[in-house]
Amino acid sequence: MYEIGHFINGEKVAGTSGRTANVYNPATGEVQATVALANDADLQAAIDSAKAAQPKWAATNPQRRARVFMKFVELLNQNMDELAVLISREHGKTIEDSKGDVIRGLEVCEFVIGIPHLSKSEFTEGAGPNIDMYSIRQPVGIGAGITPFNFPGMIPMWMFAPAIACGNAFILKPSERDPSLPIRLAELMIEAGLPAGILNVVNGDKSAVDGVLAHPDIAAVSFVGSTPIARYVYGTAAANGKRAQCFGGAKNHMIIMPDADLDQAANALMGAGYGSAGERCMAISVAVPVGEETANRLIEKLTPMIESLRIGPYTDEKADMGPVVTKEAQARILGLIDKGVEEGANLVVDGRGFKLQGYEDGYFVGGCLFDNVTPDMEIYKTEIFGPVLSVVRAKNYEEALDLPMKHEYGNGVAIYTRDGDAARDFASRINIGMVGVNVPIPVPLAYHSFGGWKSSAFGDLNQHGTDSIKFWTRTKTVTSRWPSGIKGGAEFSIPTMK
């Protein structure tokens, strides 16, 4: 057993609330740690240290800020094995997948090493007689990030890397399910040269989130998690005068055209549907083969692949996927599978009875495949967030396109085809934020930005890429006249640049 507290003003501290939550090993079902749940006093201590440190950090020139990230990237690489274990033992995903989690965050840190260039501003010389005009982007002050359990490395780094590079102080409220990695990241940022107080980690649950949303000193809130909470955080932050970007759930479709390379498509579906036990917001959970023959051939290829998935604890180096995160998640997923059967979908591969010797109390769910799913079914409408793939058969391209178009969520989507015209039409017409053409999980790289549409995102600026620099800074525009523009006396009509 170990205890996880907070990270405030450059050091690990215990919580003062007396409230804790259990942190489980999902492979065994054992409680392996407790995590402190912050109260207002813990949050205030973090904010006090952030407030004290931020002005000096903002005044540090951007090259020096960038150098902290150069060193941090080096430390992440040096400590990669340890970091991956910290994730896997609390999240349950495989070690390789946990490394991917760290690396996708590390790439955002690499991106923000370009902050001197990214934060350069606009200047117009001679906007009027003797008038120059320039816009500068200044840090918002103190930003906060509220993150989900499924990427405890990548998503905190999506947020704190640009926020801190822009000169802000940051309060991270990670998921209480797997809180060890975020604390370690904060320690490494200090080792990389970040001043104490610029990155604080406050663990907690709804009450810590509400504390963040109500606090007058927090200017901007970034959230990633489920849609109902994203909507709540967005609304509350806005009502309290904060800027917010909130990313929610997903139901990502993959359209498989009759001309697609079906081996390629089946392999893509395996990785995108079952990797990380389906607990990715960019997982493919709906396959839409076009035409009966495509559907039959696809099911034929997928069935043995799903039946032979290797499922195990993170210590099994050969495992394709691990358990799901909690007992509640397991029960919810199993309940949704039962519901799919009740609703009349055809459960071609049934993973409900999966048991692993020696890990009988782990939160495992075997890979499941549903055929003949229809849009009115619960398993189609709801984000299952588990290793369950639904096949919805479409007669033609237009019918296939219509499915993700009409779905509530709009995070990611993919099309598999050899036809450039179909792919181009699809990318242009689809109302979804991230589109893959023969790419199953089209997660944009750090220098582009990440974000969905419809109920998958609230707010107008995405994660990382140049959007993140805009989100974590505010614009100030200066109009200046030198040296003697007021000689002519007062002006009573609005100045124009005619």
Catalytic residues: 281
Q: Which is nearer to ligand NAD, 59 or 239 (CB)?
A: 239
User: What mask, x for binding ligand NAD by CB under 6 A, covers residues 56 to 95?
Assistant: ----------------------------------------
Q: Are 393 and 292 in contact (CB under 8 A)?
A: yes
Q: In the chain, count of helices (H) and strands (E)? A: 16, 23
Q: In terms of CB distance, is 209 or 298 closer to ligand NAD?
A: 209
Task: Give the end-to-end CA distance of the chain in Å, rounded to a whole number.
Answer: 72
Among 46, 229, 423, 446, binds ligand NAD (CB under 6 A): 229
Q: For 26, which DSSP code?
A: T
For β-strands 131-139 and 169-173, DSSP reports them as unpaired
Any residues with CB less than 8 A from the CB of 162 and at least 6 apart, and which? 108, 111, 112, 464, 468, 469, 471, 472
Q: Per-residue contact track with ligand NAD, 175 to 214, x per CB under 6 A? A: xx----------------------------xx--x-----
Distance of CA 56 to the CA centre of its chain: 30
Interface residue with ligand NAD, options 34, 226, 267, 438 (CB under 6 A): 226
- Judged by CB under 6 A, the residue of 363, 385, 426, 458 near ligand NAD is 385
Residue 138 bridge partners (DSSP) = 474
CB nearer to ligand NAD: give 150 or 417. Answer: 150
The region of 22-30, 180-188, 247-255, 478-486 touching ligand NAD under the rule CB under 6 A is: 247-255
- In angstroms, the CA 474 to CA 462 distance is 15
Q: Cβ closer to ligand NAD: 111 or 247?
A: 247
Among 248, 323, 367, 436, binds ligand NAD (CB under 6 A): 248
The least CB distance from residue 179 to ligand NAD, in Å, is: 9
Site for ligand NAD in 105-164 (CB under 6 A): 146-151
Tell me which residue has tokens 């989507």. Answer: 413
Q: Are 189 and 68 in contact (CB under 8 A)?
A: yes
Q: Smallest gap, in angstroms, from Cβ of residue 197 to ligand NAD?
A: 22
E-state strands within 103-247 = 122-128, 131-139, 142-146, 169-173, 199-201, 220-224, 243-247
The tokens for 202 are: 């406050």
For the CB of residue 15, give the shortest distance to ligand NAD in the complex, in Å. Answer: 15
Binding residue (CB under 6 A) for ligand NAD from 250, 254, 309, 446: 250
The vertex-473 CA angle with 471 and 477, nearest 5°, equals 120
The rounded distance, in Å, linking the Cα atoms of 344 and 374 is 9
Q: Rule CB under 6 A: is residue 440 a binding residue for ligand NAD? A: no
Residues that bind ligand NAD (CB under 6 A): 146-151, 173, 175-176, 205-206, 209, 224-226, 229, 247-250, 281, 383, 385, 411, 452, 456
